[in-house]
Structure 1
Amino acid sequence: MADIALDLTPDAQAAIADALNQAVAETAVTTMMAQNFHWNVESNTFGPLHALFQTIYEDHFAGQDDLAERIKMLDMHAEGTLAGMIARSKVEELEGHYTDVEMIGHLQKAQMTLSKTMSGAAAVAEQNGDLLTQDLLISRGMVHDKFAWMLRAHTKGRG
């Protein structure tokens, strides 16, 4: 078990950094999705959704920074281009206009994808003896599970 990031083998650092870069990419794409929806939501649920979407993108912006900084602690390269993140992400960049219900659905799906990505990356960190990265990823996964639940709650009782 490594005590700090630089105690890991180069192969372990590379594997963990790759998993973290996946997490950063998907978080970045979802950040922009939430901000886009924050700007463009229109309905009788404008107020609560406008606020929730802002809470999500602000959280995700800080979260992607924490993930990228962990990559740097591993002495690896953090992907920093939008094109690279979009190409890598399992969360798709969206174009066009969406209803409030469609926005909720897209963002909920993105949160579930992020939760799975964080869980998978945490497993990579655990397999390579990096409990600190594992803890970070588990914490981020819990955030995405919570946002998925909050979004799902907005559609309960709708026909």
Structure 2
Amino acid sequence: MTQTAIALTQDTRAAIADALNQSVAETAVTTMLAQNFHWNVTGMAFGPLHELFQKIYEDHFVAQDDLAERIKALDAHADGTLAGMLKRSKVSEFDGLASDKGMIKMMLEAQETLASTLAGAGEVAAEYGDTLTEDLCINRGQTHEKFAWFLRSHLR
């Protein structure tokens, strides 16, 4: 049975919000990873990669807000500290020198992780009948899979 956030129990909203907070954390870390790569990419593929990394971080910045606002609609706390996000995220920061292919590989892994995390959050939402959150997770997951495809194509 489909339910609105208001009709869900507090425990149910907390479980869904926890899954979404994981998604926010990984999206935030990936946003900065993409921006870092945007700033630091070099080589023959500079132009298209510079543009792709910018497209990724701009998309992810908006996505963070969409996910956090859904958490708030569930009447839960959206974790917003960088330290908390870094601690929670399965995506890691990168501070060093990487080749253009190294950057692509790291960003590809981050996109695949995000798609998986969002699929899991969508499953939690579906289990409790929260189709609005499930739909948000499905749409975001599809976006990350598309970015993964773009990145994978650069490695072939």
Q: Which residue number in structure 2 is paired with residue 44 of structure 1?
A: 44
Question: Which aligned pairs between 1:21-32 and structure 2 lie closer than 5 A?
Answer: 21-32=21-32
**Cα pair 1:5 1:74 within 8 Å, conserved:** yes
**Cα pair 1:16 1:125 within 8 Å, conserved:** yes
Q: Which residue number in structure 2 is paired with residue 17 of structure 1?
A: 17
Amino acid at match of 2:103: M
- Which digits, 9 at most, give the CA deviation of each residue in 1:50-102, with x for residues without a partner? 00000000000001110000000000000000000000000011111111000
- Where does structure 1 lack aligned partners over 5 or more consecutive residues? none
Provide the rounded CA distance (Å) in 2 between the counterparts of 1:6 and 1:43. 52
Q: Which residue number in structure 1 is paired with residue 3 of structure 2?
A: 3
Deviation (angstroms), 1:2: 4.6
**Cα pair 1:37 1:53 within 8 Å, conserved:** yes
Q: Which residue number in structure 1 is paired with residue 76 of structure 2?
A: 76
Q: Structure 2-normalised TM-score? A: 0.98
Provide the rounded CA distance (Å) in 1 between the counterparts of 2:131 and 2:16. 11
- Following TM superposition, the consecutive aligned residue runs of length 4 or more in structure 1 with deviations greater than 4 angstroms are none
Amino acid at match of 2:23: A
Amino acid at match of 1:22: Q
Q: Which residue number in structure 2 is paired with residue 155 of structure 1?
A: 155
Instruction: Determine whether 1:54 maps to 2:16.
Output: no
Q: Which residue number in structure 2 is paired with residue 90 of structure 1?
A: 90
Q: Which residue number in structure 2 is paired with residue 121 of structure 1?
A: 121
Deviation (angstroms), 1:130: 0.2
Amino acid at match of 1:78: A
Deviation (angstroms), 1:3: 3.5
**Cα pair 1:23 1:67 within 8 Å, conserved:** yes
RMSD: 0.7
Give aligned-pair identity as a percent.
63
Q: Which residue number in structure 2 is paired with residue 131 of structure 1?
A: 131
Provide the rounded CA distance (Å) in 1 between the counterparts of 2:68 and 2:98. 31
Count the aligned residue pairs.
Answer: 156
Amino acid at match of 2:74: L
Provide the rounded CA distance (Å) in 2 between the counterparts of 1:85 and 1:106. 18
Residue aligned with 2:97, SS: coil
